[in-house]
Structure formats: structure tokens, C-alpha cells
Structure 1
Amino acid sequence: MKKHFQRFRVRSTTAALAVLFAANAWAVDPFTVRDIRVEGLQRVEPGTIFASLPFRIGEQYNDEKGSAAIRALFDLGLFKDVRLEVSGDVLVVVVEERPTVAEVDFSGMREFDKDALRKALREIGLTEGRPFDQSLADRAVQELKRQYINKSLYGAEIETTLTPVERNRVNLTFTITEGQPARIKEIHVNGNHAFSESTLRGLFELDTGGWLSWYTKSDRYSRTKLNADLETLKSYYLARGYLEFHIDSTQVAISPDKQDISITVNVTEGEPYVVTGVRLEGNYLGKDDEFKSLVTIQPGEPYNADRVTQTTKAFTDYFGKFGFAFAQVEARPQIDRAKHEVGFVIAADPSRRAYVRKVNISGNSRTRDEVIRREFRQFESSWYDGDRIKLSRDRVDRLGYFKEVNIDTSDVPGAPDQVDLNLSVTEKPTGSLQLGAGFSSADKLSLSFSIKQENAFGSGNYLGMEVNTSKYNRTIAFTSVDPYFTPDGISRSIDIYHRSSRPYEDQGGNYRLVTSGAGLRFGVPFSEVDTVFFGGALERMTIEPGTNIPAAYLAYAEQYGYTSNVVPLTVGWSRDSRDSALTPNSGRYQRVSGELGVAGSGRYLRTNYQFQQYVPLSKKFTLAFNTELGYGKGLGGQAFPVFKNFYSGGLGSVRGFEQGTLGPRDVTGSVIGGAKKITLNGELVAPFPGAGNDKSLRIFGFIDAGNVYGENDKMDLAQMRASTGVGLSWISPVGPLRIAIAHPVRKFAGDRIQKLQFQIGTSF
């Protein structure tokens, strides 16, 4: 019986509807396929079609296989229309390809980076060269709207435009009308009695705006920020005795024009509770007294949720010290609502002891694994030790290569006594450019800069270059540091430098002090916080004579020659416990260094000591102190080399005075430095008005004092200079910027004054 020509066609947005349509309306009798032809292809390879068909030449075709074929071809996402035509015993597959995306562009966008969005669309398959999918375009529009809402741009409108081009391609354009961001007009807290509404609003990062809102964007609503503020509000009450405080509801209302936002927070304070006592229950490994010493909850004081959390965490950490990674600690309150009192029972179950099977590291796309692993003090296949894990995390964080460092544990399936440690890091740029400048009547504009890479090529090594173009001091120096020159953590530093300088003086002159040299230094870690440095160098120091050369330099040259070759040996010690190198709020930093000239034409001793202390007065205010002492002395009957003199004044010492102009002067009036130095600094650091708690932008008031003294001079404190002033600290994209306006409050005739100074890349 001759088979009649039959055709069935499917146009559907889903394969299921296509199959249903084909099965019900265009059924054909089963037959053996003699040949298969494909029509309509432009870019898709025929092999892609044949590989998706559920039958081959010589096999039997039926309606069920036809439906499966249509569904498989639609699932490829390459076609917008598929037809199967049967002519005798030949099956013809007719397809209409989807247009491919020729270009993706954005119009009217200011809030986001176009390249970053193109990359995000590429990850979901909406990019140049891929078939266009309307569902992906719709998904992209919804995600864009969500991102704009996160930036308080509620009125943002997005339109998608498809423009056909040759060869069945389309240009995809997202046209965006961003509009103006919605601003927080008012914030209200209802139900508060113990604390004023202004006090509670002051806890929030969100606010109604101020003159600096263009920078902080604190008046732009964000659900994430509001949730964080609500947690801050809750913690504030719970830390002050209000055990039953809770937030009833939060209403966020937006005006019809989508420009103003009102936030209302309804709370129930409850009554303040007093702690009556703390009792321990459970297994404390026979160390009950040691655990009791960790309790920070004090009977007779108001309930404080922070102390409860600190106590339970301290217990958990202490269990971890003995290998009990799965210890369960619970603080159970026993509330007496009639007396407004609460007692606590701290129940503990150490569970089972565990050891670490593996340490997994993720997020380090640039930094090598070995750079991170060598900082670990918790080793694989060793007993779990909470102290060592915390120390490992802190050491990785102190590398300074990462924005975030997080560590957690995961169970090992089938091994109840094992855990894996998972360390995740978020890398940050480790290269930096540091700039400094000063203005004065003598030096006019002096510039200095340094460029450094703290994690060169992801190896953990440091490479740096320093250049100074000052009229009076010119420097070029190269430094390389390998922090793990040996597997035990001994570091090696190589320095090559050339410095040309002359002291500040009123009259012109062209004499110079030139120092060229190279040094090698090693650092030996004696503990987790203490490092001892030692090394040596070869230096060639030259006095280049010229006009107005100070008599002191001539006297030194006549006695020891205009050129001196010196072999100095160095030794030093440092300890750093600051909580941050950029914006420290607490901790201490100490550094001691000594330099001894042992060979060549110079015999001398030069020492330096620096001490910094940071005292947190509150969450916002910090007191900072800095002390620096220097002492030098000639040995073997020789004078202290003029090349090694200390200088003071200006940035990094006593602000308000020109850089390096304090201390002894020659008979000609030229500043020549001295063998003794003292510097004292004090700062009160506070948030910048209008910037909230933003630590990247802060102001500070300061008091500085110091001076430099000659080798044979008495360190007379009455001769110390002093200044006071205010400044601005900003963590800029190129490093920490500090601007200071200083007023000398103790000065002497002939002192050089420089009231405005700024610098990028230093602290004090």
C-alpha cells in the first residue's frame, strides 16, 4: 500500500505542547526509515541533529519516536521551529534556527559597569555568538531591576530592544532609565521608653542624610543594611539588661513618586533583668575550675547577652583546645519575671574527640596554596586544636593579601571522629602606590612616591621601589623580601639604595651627602608574635663639596676623608599585636633596631626604638600614642658619622615644621641633624561628621612634640618643639591618605614652619 505524503508541524514554546499537538493531529503509520534529510540549517552542524534523534536509518519510525525527536530538538535551545515531514519512507527534518546574538549593549546606564554586566550575562548564556533566548533576556531584566532596587533606584525602567542584522543575527540592547534614587525621609522607633529615639537612631547605619551623604550613601534604603541595623538595635537592648526585648514589626513605605522612603520600627522593650547566678552542668573533663574562670557573666549585674555569648564561645573554644570539635555548650536562662531576675545554667557535652583529616583552601585565584599552607599551625592528620586553628586563621589574615579570611569545619561522612577544615579567602589587590608631598617657601613642592607589590606573582614575596624627588633629599631604593627563605620561616631581605641629600638652609648651595649601598638582612621568628632581624651591608658615603657647605661637614671630611666605606651590622626585634595595619583600633606595636659600624672608616652605634599603643574609647573613638627614640654614638674615639644623623620635623614626626629642619645647626645656620632624637605623638581619632561609622573616612586631632640633639648635647626637654592641629584620614584607592593642618605651640627663632602637609601611605 502506497504511503501518502504527510506533514506535521509544531510551533510551541514547550516541547510538551509540541508532542501533544503532533500526536493528536498528525499521526502516521509506523514505517522503516530508508533515509533522513535535514533542511534549514545555517550554523548548526547536521551531526547535532542526527545525534539528537532517537532513531537511525533502517530502524522503525512511529509517532512516539517522532514526539521524542521533536522534544529533543527543542531541548537543544537552538531552534525556534521544528517540523518533521514524511515522504514515503524518507523522513525530512525541517528546522528554523534561532537568531544568534551579534552584540549586547546597554544604554543610559551609570550605576553599574557595563563590562561586569556583560560578563554576568555571559555566565548565564546570553552573549555574543550564542542563540538568542527570550527567557534569558527576561531573566536579565528582572535581575537588573533587583540590583537597581538595592541601590534605592525604585523608578528604574528597563526596555529590551532586538535589532535584526544580516546572517540571522540580532543586536540586543538594554535601554535603561535610571531616574533618581529614593532617599530616606524619616526613621521612627515606636515603643521605646528606656532610651530616646535619637539615641536609637544614632545606632543605625541608615539615616535621613546629611551634607556628606553623597559619599556615604547612608540615606539610600537597603534591606540588608536595615536588617543589620535592627540586629544592632536588638544587641543594644540585650546588652543592657532587656532580656525580653523584641522587634514587633518594621514598615517601609515609599512615596507614590518613588522618591521618599519612610521607615518605622515598632519595639517592645520589656523590663530590665539582673543576673542572680551561674551554675555549671555536664561533663567538663574534670576541669571545672578552669571553665569557671572563663565565665564573664557576673551575678548582681544587668543581664548582658554579649557576655553570655562570650562565655559559651569561650567554653566551646576551650573544649576545642583538647580536641573536642563537636562540643555542645548551651546557656539556659531561668527567668523570675516577678522579681525581674535571671539565673543561668551552662550545660556542656564535649561529645567525641576528633582529628583533622584534610585542610581545604578555596578563593585563592592568585596566591599559591603553599603561601597559605605554610602559615598553618594546625596540621593534617593531627588532633583538632581550637587554639592552633584560630592562630592559623590569624596568621593567614596578617599576610595582608586577603579582604576576608574564614575558616569552618565539616564532618567527614562515615568517620565520626574526623573533620575537614575549610579555609576560604577573598583576595584583594596587593600592589600599592604611595605618594607624599609638602609645600614650603624653601622646598616649594617636594614629591615622593613608592610602588610595591606585597605578593609578587602570588609567591608571597615582597618587591618595592622608593623614589624621592625633593629638592633637598633624593632617593632611589629597591627592596626584595622572601618571607620564607627557609621552610622554618626565616625571611631574607635584599636592599639596594642610593640616597643624595643635604640639610635644609636658607642660602643656596650645591653640596651633597651621598650614600650608596646594598644590604642583606634575615628575620628569625622566635615566637608567633616576635621576630628578630639581623644582617649586614656595604656602604659608600661621600661628601660632595660645594658652595655653602656646613663647617661640620668640612671638619668631618678633613679628619676622616670625603669618602668613607663602612660595613654596618644590624640587629632588631619587632612585635605587632594591632588589630589592623590600616585602621587600628586596639593593640600595640613595638620595634627596636640597632646598627653597628664594625669595619671600614666608620666606627659607630646607632639605635632606634618605636612604640605605638591604640586604646579604644568606644566603637567610634580611638586614642593613639606613638613614641620614637633614637641614639647614636661614635666608637673607638671617632665622631658619630654625619651620614647617620637623625632628622625630625614634618610628616612622621613633629607636624607643623618643615621636613627634617629641627635639631642642631651649623655655625652657618644650616640644619645638620643630630645623634639623638625623641618624638612623641598623640591622636584622638573619630568618625568624619556625616560619615556614620565609616572607618575609611575619619578625622583626628593631634599633639606632637620632639627634637633632635647633637652627640655631645644634653637631651634638654625644654628645647623640644611642639605642635597641635587637626587632620583627615581617608583610605583612598591608592592607599591611606592623611592631611594635617598644624599650628606650632612651642617654637624658637629660626624654625621653619609648614602648616599644611599631606601624605599617602603612612600612619603617624
Structure 2
Amino acid sequence: MKKQFQRFRVRSLSAVVALAFVANAAWAVDPFTVKDIRVEGLQRVEPGTVFASLPFRVGEQYNDEKGLAAIRALFALGLFKDVRLETVGDVLVVIVEERPTVADVEFVGAREFDKDALKKALREIGLTEGRPYDQSLADRAEQELKRQYINKSLYGAEVVTTVTPIERNRVNLTFTVTEGEPAKIKEIHIVGNKAFSESTLKGLFDLDTGGMLSFYTKSDRYSRTKLNADLETLRSYYLSRGFLEFRIDSTQVAISPDKQTISITVNVSEGERFAVSGVRLEGNYLGKQDEFKTLVTIRPGEPYNADQVAQTTKAFTDYFGRFGYAFAQVEARPEVDRVNNRVAFVIVADPSRRAYVRRINIGGNNRTRDEVIRREFRQFESSWYDGDRIKLSRDRIDRLGYFKEVNVETSDVPGAPDQVDLNVSVVEKPTGSLQVGAGFSSAEKLALSFSVKQENAFGTGNYLGVEVNTSKYNRTLSLSTVNPYFTPDGISRTLDAYYRSSKPYEDQGGNYELVTTGASVRFGVPFSEVDTVFFGAGLERTQIKPGTNIPAAYLAYAARVGFTSQALPLTVGWARDDRDSALAPTSGRFQRLGTEWGIAGDARYLRANYQVQQYVPLSKQFTLALNGEAGWGKGLSGLPYPVFKNFYSGGLGSVRGFEQGTLGPRDVTGSVIGGPKKFTLNAEVLTPFPGAGNDKSLRLFGFVDAGNVYGENEKVTLSTFRSSVGFGVSWISPIGPLRLAVAHPIRKFAGDRIQKLQFQIGTSF
């Protein structure tokens, strides 16, 4: 009877008991051969998932060690809240309790972060709809959410996780957030400075105690990342001014008991100021020591400058790269004379081994085709490594304007010490733009302009554009497309088709107009890495539609040529652009020269226009921008210069403070007719908006404009220039670039039309 009871008794091993007391003989199970395995408690999990995890099968022997392994394996699946093994005779029963699945995840009160972004982050760690609920993952998500709020300076943020069971063994997760107010930086102190004032050093920081634009810049919100960047700026400031042994001893960040204010204290030791006593070269310089000496920017007799040292070592490394030495090592070793506060530098170079590029790998271009990036490369696969060509390739890709970031990294090839791979990583940005412009004046009231452009259509690198202008006096519809690699050699092709209806400004109710329709093709030939020459031809038809108050100049031209003119203009141009940014440049120069020659048809003329822009960084905060433009035109073959090819000036892009296109010669009727000669000069000083720190996306600028348009027989004199001064705001806003200017004419003449306010805004998609 006792033996029969032992045979049919239920031998139970719970998970906890099995894990904690398997060694206890009281819970031991005598080994036996398994005749059958049953699984109980399954709802959604397939039985096969359980059977596949068991370390034994029917017909095999079962013992306590295998039972413990089975429990561990089933728990490791993450699908069960509880697992038990029971034996009924020679039958093993696996009893499981499934974890509930997540039905929905919701966030309440989370305004600082986008809810979809938060759900995506939870999905990446396995906490999402349809997955088993795991309390440890929920706790991890809650702590991570709190950490993210701390990074946003919201130290008082509280997160409460609510788990609500619903039918069919499911749960709803709700993260309820009480964000509170962000902790603001109350004070920043720098202790130990002697050579520079505290205000000067604090001015280097992006973090500050706030201003009237802190709601936008958030510069008064503490961030450890931003503070580290500011400390590096501080260190660089001292090291570039002779303080060789400058160090930051400590940084204290104290938060108030109510978690609303933060105090930052930076303790520094300046050390003595050192001057450079000399520079000498040691090591292997490939027999080109004299050439390397020309690259040295460290100047003996001047204060020590860490930037000059870094520039010199980088220049050496880059120069080695020109000859294929991708692994060159250059070290500037200081020899310090603390008695006289002088330092000498020994630049030691080891070119190491020469290498060639095995493969160029491109990543991050989800939309842009590989060939669009590869065709900009001047470093080729299976050729010697050339640092200059790699840098040029990187810059050419960046200048495409399709990417936020472009990085080129060199990696070794395992087993091939003389080979490297180039890994190009890009971060794409929106290349389509929708731009709207508006202007107010007493003549037009409100004029709107509209354009849609796609710089990288379908990822091909081609440009497509449509422009519409609804101005009362100037209406435009134009279509344009550019293929930058019409030929494999990099010759570009531009196709344009346009319709323009132009009616010069006047207030007397005239209804005459100029209507121009045409099409053109233009090719751009790269003559160097920075210079492009353009050649093109077009067909153009211009009609002068008579009406009341038509200027006498138009009637005189029509009397010679007719009210309708056909022309075959040839165009030749040149452009060079080495600005550091097309959107918010701070250095570099842009030049453009365009000529147009009407060689056939009713209109015979020569027209030229030259523009140059120069950007000069005055300091970290201030940039000087200069612009000059000159235009000239003349009739050929005894025919008058076409009045519809006249230059106009005034308003946006020329002399602000005057209505668009109203400067220059006037007809006897008082209408502005433009002229064949134009001169414009502009100067701007740009600086981050007060309270915006060093943020260049929001800038304040002051400007001085001068210029005018002249008739064919008029003499160009500075005394007839119109000029204005003013200020404005440039903002790279979330919906696109915005530029607003208020101008005041300081030199004007009787009859000039004034326009003091102008703005332009765009958006991206």
C-alpha cells in the first residue's frame, strides 16, 4: 500500500522551491523514465515552444538536475510568470502561468517629448503592444524617462506607472508624468581667474543665467553635455593665449532644495603664461623637411597657442597623407623652461607605412543614391591613399547641400597592413523647399511670391523648381531643372522655361505691360574644383503691350524695333563659391559673373552682371558681410539697348528702404524704366540675438545699403547713390529661414518711393 501511494503521489517542484532548495532531500524526486509530458496553463503560447525548451523527451530519464534546467529554460523565454513541474506516476506535468501581454501603452502629461518618439524608444527595449508584460522592463522605462527629464533640466519631474489588467490576460500601461517647472541656472561663478575677467570668461559659455530669449534658446537650462562643451571652450581660450599649464580643478553643480534653481561653480588654475622659444623637427620627413617647415604655424617669440600646435601637427599629418602615408604619427613634444616661462617644441614624425584604399563604403543615404555621392569622390578605390583628395571629396559631398553631416573615417583592413577602407557616413536632410515672400508698399499694398524647389529630386541629385509671383506689377511663372552630371565628366545641364509679365511701378493708373516668354539651355563646365564656367543659349519673345501712360522710352524702342521682339541670346558665366555655409555663412567668398549676348533676332545687345560677397568673422559672435554688384548693358548693330533688359534696383536684394525696383531713370510720364547700368553696395554686421547666447540660427543684423540705376548717357556718380541704414532679424525657424528688415533711407531724392518693412519666410518638407 505504501509503495502504491508512492507511485501515484503528486511530486511537486515549484519554481522557487526548485531554485532555492533543490539540494534538500525532502524535495528530491527519484529518477524515472518519462512516459508522457503534459503542459497546462497555456493561452497564447504554442505548446511546441514549451516542448522545445525542455532538456528531456518522452522515453528519457528525468531527475532533479534536468527539472531545474527545464525551469530555468522556461523562465528564460520571458513568457511566463510562474512555472511548476509535477509528476503523476511516470507522467511529467508542466504547469505554467503566462505573463499578461501589453494591450496599450499611453503617456499622460508628457509635453516635453513627442509621444510617438517615446513609444518607439519603449518598442526598442521590448515594451510594446502585443509583447509579454515584464515588470523589470516597465521599471527600466520609468527610470529612463526620469533620466531624460533630468537631461532637460526638469529635476522635479515625477513618473508613475499604472498597470491596468483587462480581459484575456492583457494589461494597459499608463505612464503618468508630472513634469513640473524646469530648473533654471541662477548663477555661474568662475573662481581662480586672474588674467581675464569673470564676465569675459562667462561670455564664452553657451549656458547662461537667462535673458529675454531664453524661452527659445533654453540657454538657462542646465545640461551636463553643454557644460562639458563650455568647459572645453574655456580650456581652449586659455591654451590659445599662452597658459600652457591651465587646468580646471573642479566643477560643482548645486541644485536648490525645491529643485528649481541651479548654481554652477568652476574652479580653475591659470598657471604662468609661456612664450615659444623655438621649434625643431625630428624623425623621418621623407627627405622633404624644408617643405614641412613651411607648414609650421607655431611662431617663436609669441605666446604659446595650443591652436597653432594642433594646426601644425594636423598639417603634418595631412601632408604625409598626400603621399599615401595614412598611418603617419606626428607628436609635438614641449620642452618647458619654467624659470623663464618659455617653451620649445620638438615635432617628432614617423610616417609609418604607405597604404592604398581598398574600398569606399557609403552609409546613411536612405534616399540619395550611392552614385550621387560616389561621383563627388576624388579619391579612387585601389589607388594610393591621398589625404588631400579625401578631404576634397568630403567637402564636395558636403557642398551638395543634401546632408546635415558628412563624415569620412579610415579603418584598417584585417590581414592587409598596407590597405585601408574609407567609411563615408551621411545624415540626410530635407532637400525640398516651399518658399513664400511678401512685401508691403503704398503702390502694391501686398505682393506675394511662391516657389517650390527640390534640390535632390528622387535621390538623383537633380534639381526641379517652380516659381510663381503674384505681384501686381511683376508676375512670373517659371519651370527649371538642373542635371549636375549631364555627362560623366561633371558637366551640368540646366533647362528653363518661363513666362513673365512686367509692369513698371507707377501710380497713374497705366495699364501697359511687358510680356516675355522663353526657354533656354545652359551647360556648366567645371574648369577646376572651385571654378565653373557656364555656356548657354535661348529663345525669347518679348511683347510691349501699349496702354495708358506708357513711357515714351517704350514707344521710342517700339518705333525702331516694333512692339514684338524675338531674340537669340547666348550666355557665358563663371561662378566660384568657397563660403563655409550657404544658409548662415561666417567666412568665405562668393563670386558670380554672367554675360548675355543677343546675336540674332530683333534685339541685339550685350549685357553683363558681376556680384561678389565676402564674409569676415570678426569674433565668435560677430560676422561682417560685404556685397557688391555691378550691371552693364549696351545695344549692338546700331540698335538701341532693349528697354526690357534694363536693370532695376531698390528693395530686397539691393537697396532696402526703397520700394522694389523703383530706383533709377524715370520717363517724362514719371514712370520708372530702369537702366543699362546698375551699382549696389551692401554691408552687414551679424551677431546672435541678445539673450540667444552663441546660437547662430537666430541673429540680429545691422546694415548699410547704397546704390542706384543709371541711363545709357548718365554718368555714374556717388552723389546720386541712394542709401539706407537699418536693422533686422534672421531666424532659421522650425518652418524655414525667415528674414525681416526695417530700413530708413539716409539719402533720398524727390519722388523716391519708400518701403521700410520687408520680410521673407520659407519652409521645408
CA distance in 2, matches of 1:61, 1:561: 108
Paired amino acid for 1:137:
A
Paired amino acid for 2:438:
A
Query: Cα distance, 1:21 vs. partner?
Result: 4.5
For residue 6 of structure 1, the aligned residue among 10, 13, 21 is: 10
CA distance in 2, matches of 1:472, 1:121: 56
CA distance in 1, matches of 2:18, 2:707: 87
Matched residue of 1:614: which SS? strand
Structure-1 residue corresponding to 2:148: 147
- CA RMSD after TM alignment: 1.7
For residues 530-576 of structure 1, give each alpha carbon's deviation from its aligned partner in whole angstroms, at most 9, with x where no partner exists: 11111222222222233332232233334323322222221111000
Matched residue of 2:45: which SS? coil
Query: Cα distance, 1:165 vs. partner?
Result: 1.5
Structure-2 residue corresponding to 1:365: 366
Structure-1 residue corresponding to 2:58: 57
Structure-2 residue corresponding to 1:74: 75
Q: CA distance change for structure 1 residues 226 and 158 in 2, over 3 Å: closer, same or farther?
A: same
Structure-1 residue corresponding to 2:227: 226
Matched residue of 1:149: which SS? helix
Query: Cα distance, 1:293 vs. partner?
Result: 1.0
CA distance in 2, matches of 1:363, 1:38: 48
Structure-2 residue corresponding to 1:575: 576
Query: Cα distance, 1:18 vs. partner?
Result: 4.9
1:73-472 map, 5 Å:
73-472=74-473
Conserved in 2, the CA contact under 8 Å of 1:10 and 1:21?
no
For residues 150-198 of structure 1, give each alpha carbon's deviation from its aligned partner in whole angstroms, at most 9, with x where no partner exists: 1110000000001112211111110000011111111111111111111
Query: Cα distance, 1:22 vs. partner?
Result: 5.5
Q: CA distance change for structure 1 residues 18 and 657 in 2, over 3 Å: closer, same or farther?
A: farther
- The 4+ residue runs of structure 1 with deviation greater than 6 A are none
Matched residue of 1:291: which SS? helix
For residues 299-325 of structure 1, give each alpha carbon's deviation from its aligned partner in whole angstroms, at most 9, with x where no partner exists: 111111111111111111111111111
Query: Cα distance, 1:733 vs. partner?
Result: 2.6
Matched residue of 2:272: which SS? coil
Paired amino acid for 2:232:
E
For residues 481-522 of structure 1, give each alpha carbon's deviation from its aligned partner in whole angstroms, at most 9, with x where no partner exists: 111111111111111211112000011232221112222111
Conserved in 1, the CA contact under 8 Å of 2:514 and 2:644?
yes
Structure-2 residue corresponding to 1:526: 527
CA distance in 2, matches of 1:232, 1:555: 66
Conserved in 2, the CA contact under 8 Å of 1:433 and 1:734?
no
Matched residue of 1:395: which SS? helix
For residues 671-715 of structure 1, give each alpha carbon's deviation from its aligned partner in whole angstroms, at most 9, with x where no partner exists: 112111111111111221111111111111111111112233333
Query: Cα distance, 1:63 vs. partner?
Result: 2.3
Structure-2 residue corresponding to 1:727: 728
Structure-2 residue corresponding to 1:491: 492
CA distance in 2, matches of 1:119, 1:687: 35
Paired amino acid for 1:327:
A
Query: Cα distance, 1:281 vs. partner?
Result: 0.8
CA distance in 2, matches of 1:89, 1:488: 81
Conserved in 1, the CA contact under 8 Å of 2:520 and 2:538?
yes
CA distance in 1, matches of 2:546, 2:59: 102
Query: Cα distance, 1:466 vs. partner?
Result: 1.1
Identity of aligned residues (%): 79
Which runs of 5 or more residues in structure 1 are unaligned? Answer: none
Query: Cα distance, 1:9 vs. partner?
Result: 4.6
Conserved in 1, the CA contact under 8 Å of 2:356 and 2:383?
yes
TM-score w.r.t. length of structure 1: 0.97
Structure-2 residue corresponding to 1:597: 598
Conserved in 1, the CA contact under 8 Å of 2:15 and 2:71?
no
Query: Cα distance, 1:265 vs. partner?
Result: 0.9
Conserved in 2, the CA contact under 8 Å of 1:432 and 1:734?
no
CA distance in 2, matches of 1:124, 1:23: 36
1:623-638 map, 5 Å:
623-638=624-639
Query: Cα distance, 1:33 vs. partner?
Result: 2.8
Conserved in 2, the CA contact under 8 Å of 1:98 and 1:132?
yes
For residues 125-155 of structure 1, give each alpha carbon's deviation from its aligned partner in whole angstroms, at most 9, with x where no partner exists: 1111111111111111111111111111000
Q: CA distance change for structure 1 residues 71 and 678 in 2, over 3 Å: closer, same or farther?
A: same
Paired amino acid for 2:8:
H
Query: Cα distance, 1:472 vs. partner?
Result: 1.0
Conserved in 2, the CA contact under 8 Å of 1:33 and 1:90?
yes
Structure-1 residue corresponding to 2:741: 740
Q: CA distance change for structure 1 residues 240 and 75 in 2, over 3 Å: closer, same or farther?
A: same
CA distance in 1, matches of 2:276, 2:699: 38
Query: Cα distance, 1:11 vs. partner?
Result: 4.7
CA distance in 2, matches of 1:60, 1:497: 88
For residues 202-250 of structure 1, give each alpha carbon's deviation from its aligned partner in whole angstroms, at most 9, with x where no partner exists: 1111111111211111111111111111111111111111111111111
Structure-2 residue corresponding to 1:46: 47
Structure-1 residue corresponding to 2:562: 561
Q: CA distance change for structure 1 residues 22 and 493 in 2, over 3 Å: closer, same or farther?
A: farther
Matched residue of 1:382: which SS? coil
For residues 581-613 of structure 1, give each alpha carbon's deviation from its aligned partner in whole angstroms, at most 9, with x where no partner exists: 111111111001111222332222221111111
TM-score w.r.t. length of structure 2: 0.96
Structure-1 residue corresponding to 2:684: 683
CA distance in 2, matches of 1:91, 1:549: 105
For residues 638-687 of structure 1, give each alpha carbon's deviation from its aligned partner in whole angstroms, at most 9, with x where no partner exists: 22222222111000000000001111112211111211111111111122
Count of residues in correspondence between the two structures: 758
1:560-709 map, 5 Å:
560-709=561-710
